[in-house]
Amino acid sequence: MLPSWAHVASNANPILYMVSAFRFGFLGTSDVDLTLAYAIMIGAAVAMFALAVTLLNRGTGIRE
């Protein structure tokens, strides 16, 4: 029911894949491929971890 541009934008949202995997756990149905959903969730977690480590190593604004 979304316009084509909004459908493309919603596929770039990692929350969509998390909700779809959660829905599969309860209902047994999913809107997207579960392998893709797990890969995107793991990729997002690794990217956030790398960002956190980078910011901690930079230490900008941390008092000594």
pLDDT in tens, 9-46: 888 888 888 999 999 999 998 888 899 989 999 999 99
Predicted local distance difference test score (pLDDT) of residue 23: 92
pTM score, two decimals?
Answer: 0.71
Q: Where are the domains of the chain?
A: 4-58
In 3D, which of 58, 14, 62, 6 has the Cα closest to residue 39? 14
In 3D, which of 41, 39, 21, 38 has the Cα closest to residue 30? 21
Packing angle of the helix pair 34-58, 14-27 (nearest 10 deg)? 130
